[in-house]
Amino acid sequence: MDVIDELIANNVGFAASLPARHLDVRPSRQLAVVTCMDSRLDVFAALALRDGEAHILRNAGGVITDDVIRSLAVSQRRLGTRAVMLIHHSDCGMQALTDDGFRAELQDATGVAPAFAIESFADVDADVRQSILRVRRSPFLPHTDTVRGFVYDVDTHLLREVEVAEQSGSS
C-alpha cells in the first residue's frame, strides 16, 4: 500500500465519523487566508477555524501571485469574502534559496527555464509587507480595507502582526 492508498483508506474512516451535513460554499466568516504550503502549519488548528468558515489558499512561501489574486477575486466577487489574512512563517524554505539559483537548477534539470516567478525572499517581514501591498493594490479585488499580515513562529506557534503603511510606488 502506497501513501496515497493509505490516505484514501483514512478518508473512508473520516467520512464515516462525520454527521451528514451540507456546508454553504460561501465562507461563514467572510475570510480568505493566504499562507505557505509548509506542512508544519495547521491553519485550522492554529486559528481555531472550522470547516466552512474560511477559504485557505496555500503555495510555497504564501506568495501573492497572479493565481492567488485570481483565487481571491473569485473568493470576494462570487463567494462573499471581505477580509484577507496573510500568514508567512519563520524558518521558511523560500528563504533558503534564491530566484536565480533555483531557476538555474530547474533549467539544468529540465533544459527549460520556468515561466513562473520563484519569489524567494530573505526577509520574512519585508515579504509580508510586499504581500499586503500587492493585495491592497490589486484592481481585481473590491475588498482591500481589511488586509492584515502575520508571521507564524513554527516553534512557539504564535502569530506576530506585521504592519505596513500605504506608500506610493509599485510593489
The predicted-structure confidence for 26-72, as pLDDT tens digits, reads as follows 999 999 999 999 999 999 999 999 999 999 999 999 999 999 999 99
Report percent pLDDT > 70 for the chain: 96
* pLDDT higher than threshold 70 for residue 18: yes
Indicate the SS3 state at residue 9: helix
pLDDT of residue 171: 46
pLDDT of residue 21: 87
Rounded to 5 degrees, φ, ψ at 126 are: -65, -35
Would you say 76 and 54 are in contact if contact means Cβ atoms under 8 Å apart?
no
Task: Mention every residue, 6+ apart, whose C-beta is less than 8 A from residue 122.
Answer: 95
**Could you tell me the fold of the domain covering 23-162?**
Beta-carbonic Anhydrase; Chain A (3.40.1050)
pLDDT of residue 1: 82
What average pLDDT is seen over the chain? 95
Q: Within 13 A of 71's CA, how many CA atoms are on the CB side? A: 17
pLDDT of residue 46: 98
Report percent pLDDT > 90 for the chain: 92
Number of C-beta neighbours around residue 75 at 10 A = 23
* pLDDT higher than threshold 50 for residue 99: yes
Q: What pairing do the DSSP bridges indicate for beta strands 147-152 and 159-162?
A: antiparallel
Number of C-beta neighbours around residue 40 at 10 A = 12
